[in-house]
Structure 1
Amino acid sequence: MQTITFIGNGNMALSIAKGLKEKYYIEVAGRDMDKLDRFESDLVTRIDKYLLKDFDMTDKTVILCIKPANVEEVGKLLKGKARVLVSVLAGTPLEKLKKHFKTKAVVRAMPNLAASVGASMTTLTGDHRFQKEAESLLGAVGDTLWLNSEKEIDIATALAGSGPAYLALVAEALADGAVKQGLKREDAMVVMRGLFSGFGKLIQEVHPALLKDGVMSPGGTTAAGYAALEEGNVRSACMDAIEKAYKRATEL
């Protein structure tokens, strides 16, 4: 069984590791052994655990899951030259990764929170020699899409990487709206979850504009609610959110 090495033991590392543990042997390097023990416990499988200082990544397939601000510091702690480094760090260019980590190849990947339930939308770019391998690796936690430039993956980060937070806001707001009109909170949550579950399947097959038109009858309830969303500039706010998140990704 091939070994996958995680540098970093945060939530994203755990989410990806959960998707990989049935097909790969997992090892993790981090700063704190107590946190590494909790990582192993949460993963519910045996792993090898190491402290970052002097960890040797020679010829290893590494998934880098640290904070972007810690790239230089962590790079100095590691020894050896990795076979390939797959980075999930938002807005961290390939050149910066190559500068601070010794590796034969680099791939950037941007999974999202849904990796924890095997339903991530992960975008990738980098060394084409490892395209199929990276797609297979991250395919264990959902769908993947290889992009041809770092600009594209930074834009995709703003959409798919940050998107769960935007949709969570919409979900919470819709449920709150139903509660405001008199529906019990627990019932509003059940209805909202059912809405998102069904919509997630529909959007795989039908263009958003056609979905909207299919629901909106003339002078009906959907038309009234939709008009309120337009009056609130929801469409413009969503587009602005992508722009702001993209710009932030390029600044990291």
Structure 2
Amino acid sequence: MKTITFIGNGNMALSIAKGLKENYKIEVVGRSLEKLEKFEESLGIKIDKYILEDFDLSDKTILLCVKPANVEEVSSKIKGRARVIYSVLAGTSVSKLRQNLNPHAVVRTMPNLAASVNKSMTTLTGDIEFKAEAQELLGAIGVTRWLANEKEIDIATGLAGSGPAYLALIAEALTDGAVKQGLKRDDAMAIMRGLFSGFGELIQEIHPALLKDGVMSPGGTTAAGYGALEDGNVRSACMDAIEKAYKRALEL
């Protein structure tokens, strides 16, 4: 069984580890043994735990899951040269990772929190000789898409990486709308979850515009609700969200 070494023990690292734990041996490197033990408890399996100070990366396959601002600090504490670093750091360029961590190879990845249920949409780019390995590794937690360059993965960060938060906002708002009209909260939540589950299947095969047209009959309930969304500039706000997230990724 191959070993994957996580540097960082936050939510994203935990989500990815949950997706990988059946097929890979997991070891995790962090600053605090107490936090590493909590990570192990949440993961539900025994893992090898190491403190960051003087950790040797030599010939290891690394999943880098720290905050973008902490790259320099991490580089000052570790030693050795990793075989490859798979980085989930938003907006952190391949050149910066090479300069600070000096691995043999780098692949930038952008999974999302659905990794914990093996449903992540993960975008990838970097050293092309690791494309197949990257797709196999991150394919264990969902669907992957190799992109041509770093600009594209920075854009994709705002779509796939940040997207669960946007969809969560919409899910909550639609549920609140049903409650406002008189539906019980438990019923509204159950219906919303069923809606998202079914929609997730449909959108795999049907273009969004065709899906919308198939639901919206002339003068019907969907048309009335859709008009309200357009009046609220929801389409424009969604497009702006991607732009803002992309620009923020460039600033990190």
Q: TM-score w.r.t. structure 1 length? A: 0.99
1:138-149 matched pairs, under 5 angstroms: 138-149=138-149
Letter in 1 for 2:232: G
- The DSSP-based 3-state class of the residue aligned with 1:58 is coil
Letter in 1 for 2:130: F
Q: CA deviation at 1:23?
A: 1.1
Unpaired runs of 5+ in structure 1?
none
Q: Which residue of 2 aligns with 1:179?
A: 179
Q: Which residue of 2 aligns with 1:212?
A: 212
Residue 112 (structure 2) pairs with residue 109 (structure 1)? no
Matched residues, percent identical? Answer: 75
Residue 59 (structure 2) pairs with residue 48 (structure 1)? no
Q: Following the alignment from structure 1 to structure 2, what is the Cα–Cα distance between the partners of residues 111 and 181?
A: 36
Q: CA deviation at 1:69?
A: 0.6
- The DSSP-based 3-state class of the residue aligned with 1:80 is coil
- The DSSP-based 3-state class of the residue aligned with 2:29 is strand
Q: Which residue of 1 aligns with 2:156?
A: 156
- The DSSP-based 3-state class of the residue aligned with 2:140 is helix
Letter in 2 for 1:31: R
Q: Which residue of 2 aligns with 1:245?
A: 245
Q: Which residue of 1 aligns with 2:79?
A: 79
Q: Following the alignment from structure 1 to structure 2, what is the Cα–Cα distance between the partners of residues 42 and 237?
A: 36
Q: Following the alignment from structure 1 to structure 2, what is the Cα–Cα distance between the partners of residues 21 and 162?
A: 24
- The DSSP-based 3-state class of the residue aligned with 1:148 is coil
| Count of aligned pairs between the two proteins | 252
1:30-69 matched pairs, under 5 angstroms: 30-69=30-69
Q: Following the alignment from structure 1 to structure 2, what is the Cα–Cα distance between the partners of residues 39 and 124?
A: 25
Q: Following the alignment from structure 1 to structure 2, what is the Cα–Cα distance between the partners of residues 232 and 20?
A: 41
The Cα RMSD (Å) is: 0.6
1:185-224 matched pairs, under 5 angstroms: 185-224=185-224
Q: Following the alignment from structure 1 to structure 2, what is the Cα–Cα distance between the partners of residues 193 and 2?
A: 36
User: Which contiguous aligned blocks of 4+ residues in structure 1 show a shift greater than 4 angstroms?
Assistant: none
Q: Following the alignment from structure 1 to structure 2, what is the Cα–Cα distance between the partners of residues 160 and 184?
A: 32
Deviations 1:151-195, CA, capped at 9 Å, x for gaps: 000000000000000000100000011011110111111111110
Residue 123 (structure 2) pairs with residue 123 (structure 1)? yes
Letter in 2 for 1:190: A
- The DSSP-based 3-state class of the residue aligned with 1:109 is strand
- The DSSP-based 3-state class of the residue aligned with 2:50 is strand
- The DSSP-based 3-state class of the residue aligned with 1:92 is coil
Unpaired runs of 5+ in structure 2?
none
Q: CA deviation at 1:102?
A: 2.1
Q: Which residue of 2 aligns with 1:228?
A: 228
